[in-house]
A = this chain, B = another copy of it.
């Protein structure tokens, strides 16, 4: 057992910390203000992407030959650092959700043609992608509820359904959608679903509107679309893997995605704690700095204690992913989904409270951080679904056979 980062990780951390200081934080000030309202990222993103490529900080998330080749445990602390500036850093490093998960899917399950056509430009950062799973009419945490149909007709698949909260989809440069739907609704529970690639300009695909997240449309990150697939036809070769493999692929996609999300959340919590500390030292209601108030000290201490615990749990989950794989890390992957968004939400809430009115507004990143953390308590299944599943696994050990 050893809690020190390895040399490679330390090297990347050093370079990424320098990159954050030199390029990312300075870009924060007018980032949201420079957004043109066109659902495309502000110009800073392209500029920083060039810098990141030069700095060798590109596609860090992707193991194997297509990406930087880091393990989950090596990438995790880097993802944390990008989470300190979540509107900019992940995009700058081509490490943004949902593109990261989509690239993983294409790298792992895509055909050579699919990889050539879509994975390459995604890796280059010249296009963006989206992942169309959640549906407005059903509880999508239960994959058997999915209503979208992917029906084979000759050499094509015909896709019909409605999706919403499809992140990044409003961005005109989001060229490709991975769509989850049912190819065989009558099959066994977990082989009904398939994933299929749908280019943006396919007839029948309509982007209806941007969904909000607590008043934010997240336009500078491509928004969250409600979209209709009305008899959308794509070649049969657009199916990813085999028919019925959709659920299994989505599970494979989840593990690394959770680790990325959770490590970024740790970074968000650290940022909030930093803001809480600096604010507490500078404000002096009733004659002494907030930092001398016992309640604020309690928040700071609790924040530190909670963050440390959460980070260790995510790192262990990453280590398990690397050593025993997705399945062996199942409990920890669920555990971090349960623990980390709640922890970050708690810390950000306290940071907001130290800022008073300013904490809920646009002059600090806190309100956005909060909205992101809160949303991750329900994104990709509400906490409660994961708790139930984890409990069942825990109980299984005690059931008499």
Interface residues of A (CB under 8 A from B): 1-6, 9, 73, 134, 136, 138-142, 145, 164-165, 211-217, 273-274, 277-278, 280-281, 283-286, 290-291, 293-298, 300-302, 304-306, 308-310, 312-313, 315-316, 319-320, 323, 331-332, 334-335, 338-339, 352-353, 356-362, 367-368, 370-371, 374-375, 377-379, 382-388, 390-392, 394-395, 397-399
Contact = CB atoms under 8 A, between A and B. Distances in A.
A21 to B, nearest CB: 16
A297 B388 contact: yes
Contact of A1 (B73, B141, B211): B73
A304 B141 contact: no
Contact of A338 (B5, B216, B301): B301
A256 B128 CA distance: 52
A105 to B, nearest CB: 21
Contacts of A141: 285, 356
A286 B138 CA distance: 11
B212 A304 contact: no
Main secondary structure of the interface of A (DSSP, over half): helix
Contact of A378 (B294, B338, B359, B374): B359
A175 to B, nearest CB: 24
Contacts of A293: 294, 384
B142 A301 contact: no
Q: Please provide the 6 A-B residue pairs with the shortest distance between their CB atoms, ordered closest to farther.
A: A215-B215, A294-B294, A139-B285, A297-B391, A301-B387, A309-B309
Given A215-B215, A308-B335, A357-B134, A301 B388 contact: yes
A306 B298 CA distance: 20
Contact of A367 (B215, B291, B357, B361): B215
B305 A390 contact: yes
Contact of A313 (B309, B319, B385): B309
Among A286, A295, A302, A379, which residue has the most Cβ atoms of chain B within 10 A?
A: A295
A214 B378 contact: no
